[in-house]
Structure 1
Amino acid sequence: MIAVLRSELYRTLTVPASLIALAGFGLLAALTGWFDEDFWSLLAALGTFSTAVMVTAQHYQHRTALLVFLGRPQRLTVLAVQCVVAVLIGVLLVAVSGITVLRSGEGSEQYFTTLAATPLIAVFGVANATIVRRPLWLLVGYLGWLVFAEGLIGRLESPLPFSSFLMASAGDPRALFALACWTGAALPVAAWSISRDLSGD
């Protein structure tokens, strides 16, 4: 498992697209942290989710999943490692980009509650990418979902995934539980989906 973890971390941190996405989201989130803690939390959620999706789905997009699964036939181990990598990168992204929130003094509590919710949204991203396997479809679909279902209809207050992250980052334990439920519901489907044939991807 350690070898797979090392390999995934190396691949993630040496792919230019991943580094550009990480730097872009980190910089944007850090800039917004000067002005509004809630908007920083939203960007932190989107950045963590998007990075988890890209890192996971790149295997299917670039056809390297076949090589990974040949080297590691236990696909659930690969899924677990991808979750760990996404959590590590997500926590690093949120921790660094939130320094501006910490410096303001007023958002220190939100900094830590956002950091606490980050692993859940990272694992949720990995699970979704394992199921859908098409990063563009997934990111565009969730962007529409966030704007219409969660934003316009739910007003970012209903217990939907990104709304739950935002409310959890504001310190609501029920929202953190709701986010854990979304992640917990996605993981068994991802565990089944990772065993699907790769020929159609």
Structure 2
Amino acid sequence: MIAVVRSELYRSVSIMSSWLAMIGFAFMAALFGWFSKEAWSLFAGLGAFGIAVTVTAQHYQHRTIVQVLLNQPHRWRVLIAQCFSAAVLGTALTAVSGVAVLLGESAAHYRSTVLVAPVMAVFGTLCTVVVRHPMWLLGGVFAWLLFAEGLINRMAIGLPFASFAMASAGNTKALLVLLAWTAAAVPVAVWAIHRDVAAD
């Protein structure tokens, strides 16, 4: 299991597109952090989700998932390793991008956002294992965030990204909602990782 996690982390940080995605997401989150700590939290959550999508989907794009699954027949171990790798990268991205918030004497908000970021990264990995195509997923998330969470739900508690934004401000109920969304995605992802990968 440790070897699978180490392999996932090494692969994630050794591909140029991973670094470009991390820098891009971190820059966007940091930029919004100069204006508002709440805006930083939301974009940090989107960044953690986005980097998870990027590093997980690379396996399917580059066809390396076949070799990984041949070397590790227990696919649930691969899923756990991918979630752990994404959580580490999402947490690092959030921690680096929030320096402006930390310097602005919002240490409690910074700390709670960094602590919640791994949950959003794991949620992103689970969603990617189901969808497998990053552009479809990121486009769908953009539409979901704009219409379902923004226009219809008005960023109220109950949906994942709004719940992340509220949980990052210390709202325990919102954190439980985000954990519930992540837990609900687990059985779907476990089913999805056992699908045939040759057809993708």
TM-score range, shorter chain: over 0.9
Partner of 1:20: 20
Q: Within 2, Cα distance between the matches of 1:158 and 1:9?
A: 33
Q: Where do residues 97-136 of structure 1 align in structure 2 (5 Å cutoff)? A: 97-105=97-105, 107-136=106-135
Q: CA offsets, 1:137-165, max 9 Å, x none?
A: 00000100000100011111131010100
Matches of 2:173 and 2:186, distance apart in 1? 20
RMSD of aligned Cα (Å): 0.9
Measure how far apart 1:3 and its partner are.
Answer: 1.6
5 Å-filtered alignment, 1:1-201, equals: 1-105=1-105, 107-201=106-200
Preserved contact between residue 21 and residue 54 of structure 2 (Cα < 8 Å): no
SS of corresponding position for 1:200: coil
- Give, in whole Å, the separation in 2 of the partners of 1:138 and 1:72: 26
Give structure 2 stretches of 5+ with no counterpart. none
Give yes or no for contact 1:159–1:178 (8 Å, CA) kept in 2: yes
**Does structure 2 retain, via aligned residues, the 8 Å contact 1:45–1:165?**
yes
* Offset, 1:31: 2.3
TM-score (norm 1): 0.97
Cα deviation for residue 60 of structure 1 reads: 1.0
Cα shift at 1:199 = 2.1
CA distance in 1, matches of 2:47, 2:61: 20
Identity across matched positions, percent: 52
Letter in 2 for 1:125: G
> What amino acid is aligned across from residue 137 of structure 2 in structure 1?
L
- Check the 8 A contact 1:110/1:171 in 2, yes or no: yes
Distance 1:50 1:70 in 2: 27
Over 4 Å off, 4+ runs: none
Q: CA deviation at 1:76?
A: 0.3
How far did residue 57 of structure 1 move? 1.2
Question: What letter is aligned with 2:28?
Answer: L
Counterpart contact for 2:157–2:174, Cα < 8 Å: no
Separation in 1, partners of 2:12, 2:198: 24
**Whole-Å separation in 2 of the counterparts to 1:175 and 1:41:** 14
